[in-house]
Amino acid sequence: MLPIPEGADIICEYVEDWTNLKPGTLCVLILKAERDFVFKQVTINSATRAMHLESLNQAYKSYEVNISDVLEVWKFHSYVSVEVPERISDIQHISITMNTVLKRLKVIEDKMEE
């Protein structure tokens, strides 16, 4: 099972001012590029005028898009699904927790370098 079940309806709130987004905020982005829209964790890098996009699904690599390629930002609120979540094992829980800690440390490290 993926972090958000396939076929789930994602409920979002329109974001007028993107500068207030905290690093790693879950958002749906409407893009100019060939990928019409994406659901990613967003971290804005104002120095490079880019958005770092990271998937909840570890099968996909993170990437950056220019802020000028973003038409709209919608902040994740919740989702609705008819699928019942699977129970995760203790090892999976530890792995998820470690990945979260590592991501947060990376954000802190990046901020210290600025």
pLDDT digits (tens, 9 = 90+) for 47-83: 888 999 999 887 888 999 999 999 999 999 999 988 7
Whether the Cβ atoms of residue 18 and residue 49 lie closer than 8 Å to each other: no
The structure's pTM equals 0.69
Residue-wise pLDDT for 19-57, tens only, equals 889 999 999 999 996 768 899 999 998 888 899 999 988
Residues spanned by the domain of 93: 86-114
pLDDT for 1 equals 41
What's the average model confidence in pLDDT over 78-102? Answer: 83
- On whether both 64 and 95 belong to a single domain, the answer is no
User: DSSP code of 59?
Assistant: T
Number of compact structural domains in the chain:
2
- On whether both 48 and 104 belong to a single domain, the answer is no
Rounded to a whole number of angstroms, the CA Rg of the chain reads 15
pLDDT for 97 equals 86
